[in-house]
Structure 1
Amino acid sequence: MTSTDINLLFDRFTGVRVGVIGDFAVDLYVDLRTDTGEQSLETGLDVFWGSHPRASLGAAGNVVQNLAALGVSSIQVIGCVGNDLFGREMRYLFDSLGVDTRYLYTIADGWDTCLYTKPARNGREANRIDFGTGNTVSDLFFGSLLADLDQLLPKLDVLVINQQFAHPLLTGERVAQLNERIARFPNVRFIADMRREGTQVQGATLKVNTAELARFLAIDHPNEPDLNWCLQHGEVLQKRIGGPLLITRGPAGILCIDQAETKRVDGLTLAGPLDTVGAGDTVVATWAACQGAGASMSQALTLANLAAAVTVQKCNQTGTACLSEILALHHSHYAHD
């Protein structure tokens, strides 16, 4: 894949229409000092100091901000937020990216906007504080989201289905309802990233890492799963879901198994500290953009691999990859080809 090929794909990304449904969050990063020598006058407990707070979109929101970084200009989100300060921050972040939030509903009672608070002490992430882990929505409310989705799907090229929370928006029964839409809208490409219900999705591209592959098949996960292990067990899962299976293999690269073909791309050799948080979201977003743009499997794998390699080099943040960063990395690794 040449730099010209990459530029041509990015030109097509601007016209791709992508929807994202599922679990949206805000990632809040702060620098933390615990050795302040200060104690609270009220409680006598040690006081910690925080500085440099910075928020970005997380979970399904990270897919959205990666899509935006890739130049996708038509992005629609389907889900809900709480009536709280984190919900207002999420809407602000979406608005700053030009995302259409008409189907992002605010739930006044019983829903805390999901927030992952990520304090970093001496450059390393400390214990997270999470909000929104107990959220649930009624089947009646989800039915209204499905009605919105039915109106939206004819206008989309790709729908990304994200499931991440302990109490996700998309339960097993609701995934079955999404499967009906996958069958009814053959012109839409569906891509699923689901921590719990991945084996229930039918006909979509399912993205898994090797640990998720092992968990979905109820098998042991080796310390270093090799290519043969991924191929053997990936073929089993692919037959079960009926659609393409995208397996991220960390530094070993990415593998795609489909009924018609199987292709892989090797990981890139990277130096310096790495942070893999959110790299899977980068792969999902890049794959979605490539599917909408009509890229080949080989092109999509290569570009997703490059984009993920960009984001893992961005530490203590939920990273994204843009055209200039991808081209620079491509040049540094492939200029001699």
Structure 2
Amino acid sequence: MDTTEIKALFQRFAQLRVGVIGDFAVDLYYTIQTETGEHSLETGQDVFWGSHPRASLGAAGNVVQNLAALGVSHIQVIGCVGNDLFGREMQHLFATLKVNTQQLHVIAEDWDTCVYTKPNRAGLEANRIDFGTANTLSDQRFTELVADLEKSLPDLDVLIINQQFAHPLLSEKRVTSLNNLISRFPNVCFVADMRDVGMHVRESILKVNTAELASFLRIEHPDHPDLDWCVSQGNAFRQRSGGPLLITRGQAGILYIDQHGIQTIDGLALQGELDTVGAGDTVVATWAACLGSGATPKQALVVANLAAAVTVQKLAQTGTASLSEILALHHTYAVHD
């Protein structure tokens, strides 16, 4: 793709209508100092100092902020948030991005907003303190969410399905239930990123990394999976699932397999320190936006690969990629499809 083609594709993003359902979280970054010399007068315990707190959207929320960075202006979220301070921060972050949160259910009892804390100590991430890991969504509440989704799907071009947590919104049983709804809307582009239950999604493009692919197939993951391994195992997975498969290969690139064959793109030879946290979300958001806007799978691979390369160069943050950043990298590496 040349610069003109990429710009034309991004212009179509502004009219795209995207829904995101799944596990939403807040990423809380701060600096922590543990050797302070201060002790609590009440307990005698060491006192740590925190500074420079900042929050961003994580998990399915990172998919949302990546969509917004790409210029997608019609974004709707379907999920849950707690009635707590982190929940209010999540809603504030969504409001800043002008995201439709009418179907973000606020749960007052027995639900902590999911939070990944990212304490930085002397330049390294220290032990996290996470919230919301023990949440359990009732069947009644899930039924309400599916009813909301059913109402929304006629007005969506794309639905991104996310499963991130150990106790996810979308369990194995619930993915099966969701499949029945997906089959009724063939005009919607469905893209799923399912950390644990991807084997059960149907009639949707499934994004996996190589470790997830090996886990789903219950095979050993090689230290450095090459393209032949990815193709072989990707085809084995598709024999079970029947759906298209998007395989991210880290710095090696991305592979797409569907009923028409196999398409690949090599990763860019990036220099310097890299941070891969959230790069998969960037790929999912960019891939979905491209396909939903009429791009070919090959074109979507080119742009998603560039977007991920932008993201991984942003350190200590859940990064996003904008059109200007993607074009700058495209110019630097002279990428063509």
TM range, smaller chain: over 0.9
Give the Cα–Cα distance (whole angstroms) in 2 for the partners of residues 206 and 323 of structure 1: 25
Report the counterpart of residue 153 of structure 1 in structure 2: 153
Q: Superposition pairs for residues 127-276 of structure 1, below 5 Å?
A: 127-276=127-276
- Asked if 1:34 is matched to 2:39, the reply is no
Q: Superposition pairs for residues 2-151 of structure 1, below 5 Å?
A: 2-151=2-151
Give the Cα–Cα distance (whole angstroms) in 1 for the partners of residues 266 and 336 of structure 2: 17
Q: Is 2:117–2:129's contact at 8 Å kept on the other side of the alignment?
A: yes
Given residue 4 of structure 1, which amino acid in structure 2 is its aligned partner?
T
Give the Cα–Cα distance (whole angstroms) in 2 for the partners of residues 282 and 335 of structure 1: 18
Deviations 1:140-179 (A, max 9, x none): 1111111111110000000000000110010111101111
Given residue 226 of structure 2, which amino acid in structure 1 is its aligned partner?
D
Deviations 1:78-114 (A, max 9, x none): 0010000000000000000000000001000010000
Q: Secondary structure at the match of 1:184?
A: coil
Give the Cα–Cα distance (whole angstroms) in 2 for the partners of residues 282 and 198 of structure 1: 18
Given residue 183 of structure 1, which amino acid in structure 2 is its aligned partner?
S
Deviations 1:6-44 (A, max 9, x none): 101100111110000000000000011112222222222
Distance verdict in 2 for CA 1:259–1:336, change over 3 Å: closer
Q: Secondary structure at the match of 2:144?
A: helix
Gaps of 5+ in 1: none
What is the CA-CA distance between 1:261 and the residue it aligns to? 2.1
Q: Secondary structure at the match of 2:130?
A: strand
Gaps of 5+ in 2: none
Report the counterpart of residue 333 of structure 1 in structure 2: 333
Give the Cα–Cα distance (whole angstroms) in 2 for the partners of residues 317 and 262 of structure 1: 33
Given residue 227 of structure 1, which amino acid in structure 2 is its aligned partner?
L
User: More deviation in 163-172 or 34-43?
Assistant: 34-43
Given residue 203 of structure 2, which amino acid in structure 1 is its aligned partner?
G
- Asked if 1:296 is matched to 2:296, the reply is yes
Give the Cα–Cα distance (whole angstroms) in 1 for the partners of residues 186 and 32 of structure 2: 49
What is the CA-CA distance between 1:124 and the residue it aligns to? 1.3
Q: Secondary structure at the match of 2:283?
A: helix
Structure 1 length-normalised TM: 0.98
Q: Is 2:2–2:336's contact at 8 Å kept on the other side of the alignment?
A: no
What is the CA-CA distance between 1:139 and the residue it aligns to? 0.8
Give the Cα–Cα distance (whole angstroms) in 2 for the partners of residues 235 and 245 of structure 1: 9
Give the Cα–Cα distance (whole angstroms) in 2 for the partners of residues 13 and 320 of structure 1: 15
Given residue 238 of structure 2, which amino acid in structure 1 is its aligned partner?
Q
Given residue 239 of structure 1, which amino acid in structure 2 is its aligned partner?
Q
Distance verdict in 2 for CA 1:127–1:262, change over 3 Å: same
Structure 2 length-normalised TM: 0.98
Q: Is 2:22–2:162's contact at 8 Å kept on the other side of the alignment?
A: yes
Given residue 174 of structure 1, which amino acid in structure 2 is its aligned partner?
R
Q: Secondary structure at the match of 2:153?
A: helix
Give the Cα–Cα distance (whole angstroms) in 1 for the partners of residues 44 and 312 of structure 2: 40
Give the Cα–Cα distance (whole angstroms) in 2 for the partners of residues 123 and 244 of structure 1: 40
Q: Secondary structure at the match of 2:275?
A: coil
Q: Secondary structure at the match of 2:183?
A: helix
Give the Cα–Cα distance (whole angstroms) in 2 for the partners of residues 207 and 175 of structure 1: 15
Return structure 1 stretches of 4+ with deviation > 2 angstroms: none
What is the CA-CA distance between 1:239 and the residue it aligns to? 2.5
Aligned residue pair count: 337
What is the CA-CA distance between 1:335 and the residue it aligns to? 7.4
Given residue 306 of structure 1, which amino acid in structure 2 is its aligned partner?
L
Distance verdict in 2 for CA 1:87–1:336, change over 3 Å: closer
Give the Cα–Cα distance (whole angstroms) in 2 for the partners of residues 134 and 213 of structure 1: 26
Identity of aligned residues (%): 69
Q: Is 2:302–2:336's contact at 8 Å kept on the other side of the alignment?
A: no
Give the Cα–Cα distance (whole angstroms) in 2 for the partners of residues 50 and 308 of structure 1: 31
Give the Cα–Cα distance (whole angstroms) in 2 for the partners of residues 136 and 254 of structure 1: 34
Give the Cα–Cα distance (whole angstroms) in 1 for the partners of residues 146 and 239 of structure 2: 27
Distance verdict in 2 for CA 1:166–1:335, change over 3 Å: closer
